DNA sequence: GGAGCTTCAATTTTT
DNA sequence: TTGAAGCTCC
């Protein structure tokens, strides 16, 4: 087994341990993916049929990379037969296969976040509720977390705890919304992201023979990023592995950054309970980063209380210190980083792809884009409005969806009057009323006016009929026409192509190009079909809902600077990493400052960011930042101070210190320039000119008294039990019936005093 | 029915 | 600042 030679002792042991339940806890850069790929290759070398292996990842990208790496070890053919993909992708396929038994059409639609929110909004309005109180995104979060815990609408309604939480937060009708949402999705033949896992659980629960079939198929199951799985995923894995118990999960609790969306670190603990005789392997040697970076990351993560004991170390060089750069404004931050990349590239002759700029939120990308563009540096940007989220792309895809599944009402509403064909709101209102009165869907009405008469004028009716018959003519050919051919015809007949072609504005041109891009993507997809079969448009649709920007890597994007959120960077590595926007209320985000758990997650996010860097890492913050229109002062992130000072070197921008020199920590400490900073035991991280953080809740802070009843945005009503500390760090202990006792910093907590 | 104007709200992360 | 949603006027 010569390919095992490249592994260290621990890695090798975890690879050759074939049977039984096992867990690999792997520090950042310790070769987690390596172990997984080698393990799969090793299984095959021991004559395990690739058809019997299931490998679940968190992102499509991870799956693809793993597949490529396995192919290098065992060859394309065998690699191809391993079932590998994200939870969502793998189980959406399985669901398609058995859709009929749970009452769904084979061509069920997958609603993305936009579709879901839009449907929720419709429902909220139909129920006569105020969408300022029942904000669609909030409602979505609530329903999503219910689904991830396998709570159906019916169970939601009778769950005393949940119902009381909703009542406390002033949203007693949430269960109604959930109920309607559930049935509307079902009628539309649509599943949202959470449904893909939820319904898989139902399928396996209610149809044991189907579960059994997959239990036999998947003799070996591997799960990557186990710390990011939610309860729903956990249960799927547990059920599938129940027969053979050849289950290998790999993860790192320190990199758990998706608790906000239901990931449950308990799953690691559950594992010990479910499989008491499991084997535990730890990979602690980091091969990626310099000593400085590894040590800095360790010192940051040690601030977290909740973690599994691990000792991550490296035998790599010490490397350079981590630079901490202060800029005056966010625009300057952009320029500074762009210049730094320019200089480093010149000096060291590196590729652009060696550099990454990582930020907390997508909205931060703009100054960097501008600065890079000015210097003529090529970059690629992930996230934000992804290609598949663009209006024009979604519009065309909506036609496809409607052809595959006419009951898909979100798609229908999107395109029935786009391009403009004279079917306006008043017609749609009439149709909706008729549909509701008869308890049928919109499509039922518009495809059969004789059964469902609608009081709209003949002209509009004729236009609708034309639209319907166009779609029907495509639907008939869906299964025997190649996806590309059909897609092209749809783009033409629908009028979308012409509409965009006629728009000669720069945006219009780019929209047209995006449609062409989508079509050529479909072309590629259609041509990748196996012999004797065709890839149809419904096959394409099956994949497309689960694709993100990161999955659309183009050849010409290879040598470019990477801009992405830290979340998106998970699992990646770069020689030079810039972590920008290192400011309080941005990173850590102000949304997480209410609880220790959330702050710890944010810290793990910073840990992930740091450990992306191989050779060099720069932290950067701006003293002033534009936030919806006006300039706001900000303070350096607390996370900077959590790094042991000996790993840091401080510098400020030329404009700020006047001399164009960069400062080392000592000079910085000595107060050069003396007028601007005072000598402290710690490097002075306070922005110039600002003393203490401003208490933006000063009135509240002084007037709040023990015994007050208050309302909190998230926790609902509560009573103040204790007040401690002085402004601006004044804290209150508040008891919330919905979520227990919380200690809140008054300067951050958005509280309202009731009495 | 639709274009164009004004207002208003929002800003966390993603399958 | 941006984008969506609502409103007015044709």
Question: CA distances (Å), A720 to each of A262, A695, A711, in order?
Answer: 29, 19, 10
Which tokens is A228 given? 């990011």
Find the range with the poorest average confidence among A168-177, A286-295, A434-443, A681-690. A681-690
Is residue A747 a contact partner of residue A697, using CB atoms and an 8 Å limit?
yes
pTM: predicted TM-score of the whole model, two decimal places: 0.83
**A510 with A393: CB under 8 angstroms?**
no
Structure tokens at A474: 């495509």
Q: Which nucleotide is nearest to A366 (CA to C1')?
A: C1
Indicate if A76 belongs to the active site. no
Q: CA A499, C1' B4: Å apart? A: 19
* Closest CA relative to residue A337, chosen from A580, A651, A536: A580
Question: What does the alpha-carbon distance between residue A634 and residue A656 come to, in Å, rounded to a whole number?
Answer: 16
CB A552 within 8 A of CB A543: no
The larger pLDDT score, comparing residue A113 to residue A30, is at A30
pLDDT tens digits, A387-436: 787 888 888 999 999 999 999 988 998 888 888 888 887 888 888 888 88
Checking if the pLDDT of A146 tops 60, the result is yes
Q: Give strand C nucleotides closer than 7 A to any protein Cβ.
A: 1, 4-5
Give the mean model confidence (pLDDT) for residues A707-731.
Answer: 61
- Say whether A255 is catalytic: yes
Strand B positions within 7 A of protein Cβ atoms: 1-3, 9-15
Residue A420 CA to C10 C1' — how many Å?
A: 18
Q: Is the pLDDT of residue A314 over 90?
A: yes
What letters, b where the CB count within 10 A reaches 16 and e where it falls short, cover A263-276? bbbebbeebeebbe
Q: What is the pLDDT of residues A491-530, one digit of tens each?
A: 999 888 888 888 777 777 878 888 888 898 899 888 887 7
Q: What are phi and psi of A488, to 5 degrees?
A: -65, -45
A87 Cβ contacts chain B strand, under 7 Å: yes
Query: Whole-angstrom Cα distance, residue A57 to residue A489?
Result: 36
Q: Is A224 a catalytic residue?
A: yes
In terms of DSSP H, where are the helices of A218-365? 231-241, 266-274, 291-301, 330-348
Q: Quick check: A546 CB within 7 A of strand B?
A: yes
Q: Which residues neighbour A523 within 8 Å (Cβ) at sequence distance 6 or greater?
A: A484
pLDDT at A750: 52
Residue with tokens 């800029």: A327
Smallest CA–C1' distance to B13, residue = A567
Rounded distance between C-alpha atoms, residue A389 and residue A515, angstroms: 12
Distance of CA A407 to the CA centre of its chain: 28
Ramachandran angles phi, psi of A190, nearest 5°: -125, 145
The separation, in Å, between residue A408 CA and nucleotide B14 C1' comes to: 23
Q: Which residue, chain included where needed, has tokens 């490529």? A: A68
Active site residue A32: yes
Which of the residues A11, A32, A165, A602 is marked catalytic?
A: A32
User: With the CA atoms of A313, A315, A317 and A323 taken in that order, what torsion angle do they form, in degrees rounded to the nearest 10?
Assistant: -10
- Gap between the Cα atoms of A432 and A122, Å rounded: 11
Which residue in A429, A400, A428 sits closest to A494, CA to CA?
A400
Distance CA A697, CA A713 (A): 15
């Amino acid at each position: 087994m010569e390919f095992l030679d490249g592994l260290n002792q621990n890695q090798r042991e975890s690879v050759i341990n074939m049977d039984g339940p096992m867990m690999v806890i792997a520090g950042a850069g310790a070769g987690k993916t390596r172990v997984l790929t080698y393990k799969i290759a090793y299984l095959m070398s021991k004559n395990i049929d690739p058809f019997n292996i299931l490998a679940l990842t968190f992102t499509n990208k991870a799956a693809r990379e793993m597949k490529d790496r396995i192919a290098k070890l065992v060859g394309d053919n065998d690699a191809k037969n391993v079932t590998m993909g994200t939870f969502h992708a793998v189980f959406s396929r399985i669901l398609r296969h058995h859709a009929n038994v749970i009452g769904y059409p084979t061509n069920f639609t997958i609603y993305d976040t936009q579709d879901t929110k839009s449907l929720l909004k419709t429902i909220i309005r139909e129920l006569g509720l105020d969408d300022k109180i029942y904000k669609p995104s909030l409602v979505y979060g609530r329903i999503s977390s219910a689904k991830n815990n396998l709570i159906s609408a019916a169970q939601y309604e009778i769950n005393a705890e949940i119902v009381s939480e909703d009542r406390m937060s002033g949203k007693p009708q949430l269960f109604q919304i959930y109920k309607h949402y559930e049935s509307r999705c079902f009628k539309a033949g649509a599943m949202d992201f959470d449904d893909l896992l939820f319904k898989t659980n139902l399928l396996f629960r209610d149809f044991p023979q189907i579960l059994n079939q997959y239990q036999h198929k998947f003799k070996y199951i591997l799960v990557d990023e186990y710390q990011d799985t939610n309860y729903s995923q956990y249960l799927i894995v547990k059920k599938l592995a129940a027969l053979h118990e050849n289950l290998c999960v790999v993860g790192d609790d320190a990199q758990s950054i998706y608790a906000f969306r239901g990931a449950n670190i308990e799953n690691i603990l559950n594992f010990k309970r479910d499989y008491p005789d499991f084997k535990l392997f730890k990979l602690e040697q980091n091969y990626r980063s310099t000593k400085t970076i590894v040590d800095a990351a360790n010192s940051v993560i040690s601030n977290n209380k909740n973690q599994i004991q691990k000792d991550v170390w490296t035998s790599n060089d010490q490397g350079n210190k981590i630079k901490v750069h202060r800029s005056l404004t966010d625009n300057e931050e952009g320029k500074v980083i762009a210049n730094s990349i320019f200089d480093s590239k010149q000096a060291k002759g590196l590729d652009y792809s060696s550099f990454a700029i990582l930020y907390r939120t997508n909205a931060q990308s703009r100054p960097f884009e501008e600065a890079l563009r000015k210097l003529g540096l090529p970059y690629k940007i992930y996230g934000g409005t992804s290609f598949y989220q663009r209006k024009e792309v979604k519009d065309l895809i909506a036609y496809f969806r409607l052809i595959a599944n006419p009951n898909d009402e979100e798609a229908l509403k999107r395109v029935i009057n786009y391009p403009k064909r004279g079917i306006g709101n008043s017609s749609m209102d009439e149709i909706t009323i008729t549909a509701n009165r008869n308890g049928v869907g919109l499509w039922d009405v518009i495809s059969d006016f004789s059964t469902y008469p609608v009081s709209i004028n003949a002209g509009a009716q004729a236009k609708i009929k034309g639209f319907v018959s166009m779609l029907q003519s495509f639907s008939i050919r869906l299964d025997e026409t190649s996806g590309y051919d059909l897609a092209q015809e749809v783009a033409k007949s629908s009028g979308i192509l012409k509409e965009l072609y006629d728009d000669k504005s720069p945006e219009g041109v780019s929209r047209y190009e995006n449609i062409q891009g989508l079509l050529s993507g479909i072309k590629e997809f259609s041509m990748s079909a196996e012999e004797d079969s065709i890839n149809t448009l419904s096959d394409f649709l099956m994949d497309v809902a689960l694709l993100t920007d990161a999955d659309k890597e183009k050849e010409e994007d290879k040598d470019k600077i990477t801009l992405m959120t830290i979340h998106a960077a998970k699992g990646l590595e770069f020689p030079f990493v810039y972590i920008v926007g290192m400011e309080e209320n941005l990173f850590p985000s102000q949304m997480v400052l209410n609880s220790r758990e959330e702050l710890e997650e944010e810290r793990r996010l910073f840990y992930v960011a740091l450990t992306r860097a191989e050779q060099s890492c720069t932290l950067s913050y701006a003293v002033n930042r534009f936030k919806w229109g006006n300039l706001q002062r900000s303070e350096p992130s607390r996370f900077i101070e959590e790094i042991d000072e000996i790993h840091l070197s401080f510098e400020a921008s030329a404009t700020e210190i006047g001399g164009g020199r960069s400062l080392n920590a000592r000079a910085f400490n000595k107060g050069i320039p003396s007028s601007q900073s005072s000598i402290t035991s710690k490097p002075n991280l306070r922005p110039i000119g600002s003393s203490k953080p401003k208490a933006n809740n000063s009135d509240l802070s002084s007037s709040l008294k023990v015994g007050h009843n208050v309302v909190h945005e998230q926790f609902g009503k509560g009573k103040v039990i204790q007040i401690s500390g002085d402004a601006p760090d004044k804290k209150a202990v508040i008891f919330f019936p919905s979520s227990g006792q919380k200690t809140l910093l008054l300067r951050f907590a958005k509280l309202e005093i009731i009495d």
